[in-house]
Structures are given as structure tokens and as C-alpha cells.
A and B are shown apart, each in its own frame.
Chain A
Amino acid sequence: MVRGEMTSKLSIRDLSFTYADGAQALRQINMDIQANELFVLFGPSRAGKTTLLRLLNRLADLLDSTQRTGEILVNGRDIYAPTVDVIHLRRRIGMVFAVPTPLPGSIYDNLAYGLQMAGIRDRQVIAERVERSLRQAALWEEVKDRLQDSAFALSGGQKQRMCLARSLVLEPDVILLDNPTSGLDPISTAMVEESLFELKQQYTIIMVPHSVQQASRVADRAAFLLNGEVVEIGSQQQIFIHPKDKRTEDYVTGRFG
């Protein structure tokens, strides 16, 4: 269904989600995310950030006996509508996980995998897109001479940039980043953060940050989540400098968390 929210890249409407054990992870979430913005979802653990991310590309489908109400619209279309092709959806909404997870095989194998699974056979096309996405993730110069090496031989920071490149290779619309700098050293973290500013020219980025500091460094806009509810949504300025809600203020100033 196409609606009036066509201006929003992604709209979440009254979204609630309950796990099989009865734990309610999300309550009545509403938010709109615009194209080419870097939108940050932050809050203490068990706020529902990762759950929300995994609902956006329907990875939460893998769990049995969960309950979901509400809608998620991408480009105005409900991604949970029965006619939606989940595989196609996941190609358009890429994801990078908190723990860098190479697939067994070479760096090149990892990058090419998504394209090959999408039925692209032309080696020339694959090679070009692999190079382009490795450049976007600021990894090309480091690995261009050893693309056939095992992806497990990379350092932690390189692995994570490879995972970023691996999702970019599919040329998605939206990229979901679930704490992509967890476990990375400050230099690798800075490299990942820097590449985000380039990437949002082309993609819409929704990110769960490593810390409040990182959230305030990278965010265009941010949503503060607490116990599965949205406390406050606003611009970087509003959330991190002039928060309206007392709980947001307490969290960003470090009074709890």
C-alpha cells in the first residue's frame, strides 16, 4: 500500500514485538527515517535496538512463535505484506552485525557471495562490484593484492569493513549497522565512522552505536529507546545537547546506562 508518507524512506507504525518466551521487546514504536540520513537507535541494553533492526530486514522471521503488530513501510510499502519477497527485501536492506562474521572462504568469495546467490554469473560484473564496494568500505587498498586469502586472516577491523563491503556489494537502499565497531580499536573505529559519512550520500543508514559518544558523533537524527519504547526522537542537536525528556538527558549525560 502506498501512502502519504512517500517522503519517508522508512516508516514504523505502532510496532510491537513479543518473543516466544513472552518478553515484550518493543512497544508501540513509531518513527520516520528519511533517505540519506544516518539515523541512530540508542539506549541501554534490552532497549530493543537489535530487535528493531532485525525486524527491518525480517531476520526476526527466523525465530519461532513471536508476535508482531503494527507496520514497517519501506518506500511506502509494508514489508510484512504477504506479497513481499523476503529474499528481495534482504538484498535491498543490508545488514552488518556486531560480531564481524566472515563466511568460510576467501575475501573475494565473501564479497561475491550475495551477487552469486542473486544469480549474477558475469565474472567481470562481479569483479567490478567487489572492487567498488571494497573501496566504499575503505578496505580496497589493504586487500587488493590478497583477495584470494582466507577472510579469517583479516584483522578485526578489516573483517568488519569487509562485512560492510559485503552488504554494499548488493547495492542496497538501506544499511542496518548493529554496533559495527564493537571490539574494534579506536583507529579502526574512526575508519568505519569516516566511511559512514561517505556512505550516507548514497544510502540510508540506521545504526545502533557502540556508545552515546559515538551516537552523538555520527548521528543526523537519533531515537532514544528504553525498555522497548521510544522515549525521544530528534536531531543530533536536540537529543545530545537539548534533550526534551528527562530520561534522555540522564542517559546522554551518563547518569544511568
Chain B
Amino acid sequence: MTRQQSQKLAAGLISVTAVIVILPIVLVVVYVIVKGIGAISWEFLTQPPSNGMTEGGIFPALLGTIILTFGTAVAAIPLAIGAAIYLAEYAGDNRITRAIRLAIVNLAGIPSIVYGLFGLGMFVLFFNFGTSILAGALTLGLMTLPVVISTAEEAILAVPQEFRVVSLSLGASRWQTIRHQVLPHALPGIITGVILGLGRAAGETAPILFTVAAFYLPELPKSIFDQTMALPYHLYVIATQVPGMPLSIQYGTALVLLFIVLSFTLVATVIRTVMRRRREW
């Protein structure tokens, strides 16, 4: 084989792998849309399930997922961004910093079901929040922490060092420098990380299994100490626990969940693109 031939062959094979990588996501999305689009209607989105969940809609689960995602944001974002600023701007290279980084890496590696069990033990039982939105949001928040911390820290470190040096040389304090010269420019990256983290939280089943999710609860929650239905768990229930469940409702539910999670990714991408284009440096 000549050099030109091997060059073509390599390029060809590499292109094929790239296409194969795209295939699964396209297939999943197309398959779920085709199977589920028939079930989508205004009633499906706004009505509770009825007749042993074999009829009606998914409204309580949809609302529950939205509330839980919002709760996750409230629980995780301040803590994660604070930690990211500390690691990027304040932490020296010492044992404590290394311990924190090790903890974050390990936090990211914990299986989600373990978060669920931890949430049960910590928030539901020890803090006595009961099976509740509060316990579920805190558990999801904990799970979201590492991804938000890592992306936010990366975004902060990507801000050119010159901006910090110039700001300090002009008599700004360290915090003023972070507040005015670092965070505004790190914001697109931080927002991206937050949204991706929340997208993952919205789609998770295991962490909410023991901490908040209700099997069937047509009434809407009245406080953060109530249980709620949630889309991922609802999907699990109707797919495995309810005999005689029409497939169209199962795929319709899957389609809504997929739409929510993918729209998080889409919004993150749009924000990043727009803000990058506006960047001057």
C-alpha cells in the first residue's frame, strides 16, 4: 500500500467512527419521537394520570421534575460556584486543596443509586425531612456539585491572568478583581456547567427513588416537605410496574423527558455560542 492509499484509508476509517458515534443519539431521538409523538397532546401534558395510570396525562410528574430541578439549582449552584472560586482563585497548592480536589473527583464517580441511599439516610431519616421535595432536591444537588464545580473552575481559570494582574495593579482588591474582571468573563462557562448539571439531575431516577418520588400521587405538592411524582421515576413505573400499560403513553412520557433533558443541553450550547461571539479578547 502506498503512502497515499494508507492516508486515504486512515481518513476513511476515522470518518466512519465519527459517524457511528452520531448514530445512537440520532436513532434514540428518532425512535422515541416516532413511537411517542402520537401520545402528545395538551391533555397529556396538563392532566394527571387516571384509571390506574393507563389513561390520562403526566402533569404531576412533569411539574414535579420542574420543581426538583429548580430545587437542585437552589441547593447546588451557590455551593458549587463558591467552591469553584475558592479552588481557582484562593486555594494554594497544599494538602487541603489536594484533599478537596480528590473529594470532588470521587464525588463525580459515585454511582447515582448510592446518592439515593445516602439521601435516604442523611436527609430523609437523619435530618427527618421525610420523603420530600427538600430531601430529593438536596440529594440531586449533591450529585450535581462535582460537574458544576469542575466546569466553573475551568471557566474561571480560562480568564486570562493579565486581567487579574492589571486589575490588582490598579488598586483593586482581590475580591473586586474576581467580582469585576474574572466572574463576568467566566460566566458563559459557569452557566454552561450549571445547565448541563441540571439537565443530568432532571433525568436521574436513582437519587429520587427513596428520597422524594411518589409512585402515584395525582395531587400536586403544597410545600417542600411533600412528596411529588417525577418524570424519570414515573417512566420507570409505567414501563415496568403497571400491567396493561399502553406503549404510546410510555413513549410519550419518554419523549417529554428526553425533550426536557436535550433542551437543557441546547440552551447551554446557545448561551455559550452567543456569549463567545460577544467576547472581545
Binding site for B on A (CB under 8 A): 57, 59, 62, 64, 87-88, 90-91, 94-95, 97, 99, 101, 103-104, 113-114, 117-118, 150, 152, 163, 166-167, 170
On chain A, the residues within 8 Å of B162 by CB distance are 97, 99, 101
Contacts A59-B169, A104-B281 given; 11 further ones with Cβ under 8 A? A88-B171, A90-B170, A94-B169, A103-B167, A104-B185, A104-B280, A113-B172, A113-B180, A150-B280, A152-B280, A167-B170
> When the two chains form the complex, which single residue of A103, A114, A152 contacts B171, counting CB atoms closer than 8 Å?
A114
- When A117-B176, A117-B180, A150-B280 are in contact, do A103 and B166 touch as well, CB less than 8 Å? yes
Q: How far is the CB of B169 from chain A (nearest CB, A)?
A: 5
The answer to whether B171 touches A95, judged by C-beta atoms less than 8 angstroms apart, is no
16 CB < 8 A contacts A-B: A64-B92, A64-B93, A90-B170, A95-B169, A97-B165, A97-B169, A103-B163, A104-B185, A113-B180, A114-B172, A117-B171, A150-B280, A163-B166, A166-B170, A167-B169, A167-B170
Q: Cβ of B281 and Cβ of A87 under 8 Å apart?
A: no
Query: A113-B180, A152-B280 known; A87 and B171 CB under 8 Å?
Result: yes
With contacts A87-B173, A152-B280, A170-B171 known, is A101 near B166, CB below 8 A? yes
- Output the least CB separation between A175 and chain B (Å): 11
Are B168 and A62 interface neighbours, CB within 8 A? yes
Task: Report chain B residues within 8 Å CB of A118.
Answer: 171
Report the nearest A residue to B281, measured CB to CB. A104
Q: Which residue of A lies closest to B162 (CB)?
A: A101
Q: Which of B151-184 contact A (CB under 8 A)?
A: 162-173, 176, 180-181, 184
Determine the distance from Cα of A62 to Cα of B92 in the docked complex, in whole angstroms.
11
Residue-wise, chain B 251-281 has the 8 Å CB interface mask toward A (1 for contact) of 0000000000000000000000000000111
Please indicate which of the listed interface residues B163, B171, B180 has the most CB atoms of chain A within 10 Å of its own CB.
B171
Instruction: Flag if A57 contacts B170 (CB, 8 Å).
Output: no
Query: Which residue of chain A is the closest to B185 with respect to CB atoms?
Result: A104
Given A99-B162, A117-B180, A170–B280 Cβ distance below 8 Å?
no
Chain A residues with CB under 8 A of B166: 97, 101, 103, 163
Using known A-B contacts A64-B92, A113-B180, A152-B280, determine if residue A101 contacts B172 with beta carbons closer than 8 Å: no
In the bound complex, how far is the Cα of B171 from the Cα of A59, in angstroms? 11
Chain B: residues with CB nearer than 8 A to chain A? 92-93, 162-173, 176, 180-181, 184-185, 279-281
With A64-B93, A90-B168 known to touch, is A101 a contact of B163 (CB < 8 Å)?
yes
B contact face: mostly helix, strand, loop, or mixed: helix
- CB A159 to nearest CB in B, in angstroms, measures 12
CB distance from B187 to the nearest CB of A (A): 12
Q: State in angstroms the CA–CA spacing of A234 and B166 once bound together.
A: 31
Residue of A with least CB distance to B92: A64
Bound Cα distance A194, B170 (Å)? 24
Nearest Cβ distance between residue B42 and chain A, in whole angstroms? 46
- Interchain CA distance A170-B166 in the complex, whole Å: 13
Please give the distance in Å from A169's CB to the nearest CB on chain B.
9
| A117 lies within 8 A of B169 (CB) | no
A91 to B168, CA, bound (A): 9
> B93 to chain A: which residues have CB within 8 Å?
64
Please indicate the chain A residues that have their CB under 8 angstroms from the CB of B163 in the complex. Answer: 101, 103-104
Chain A residues, CB < 8 A from B171 = 87-88, 90-91, 114, 117-118, 170
- Bound together, the chains give a CA A39 to CA B28 distance in angstroms of 71
Chain A, Cβ-Cβ closest to B176: A117
B176 surroundings in chain A (CB, below 8 A): 117
Most buried by A among B163, B169, B172: B169
Please give, as numbers and ranges, the residues of chain A lying within 8 Å of B170 by CB-CB distance: 90-91, 94, 113-114, 117, 166-167, 170
CA distance A146 to B236 in the complex (A): 61
For B173, the chain A residues whose CB sits under 8 A away are 87, 117
Question: Within 8 Å CB of A101, what residues of B?
Answer: 162-163, 165-166
Bound together, the chains give a CA A64 to CA B281 distance in angstroms of 28
For residue A8, give the distance in angstroms from its CB to the closest CB of chain B: 23
Given A64-B92, A104-B280, A152-B281, are A113 and B167 neighbors across the interface (CB < 8 Å)?
A: yes
Distance (Å) between the CB of B279 and the closest chain A CB? 8
B278 to chain A, nearest CB (A): 10
Measured between beta carbons, the chain B residues less than 8 angstroms from A95 are 169
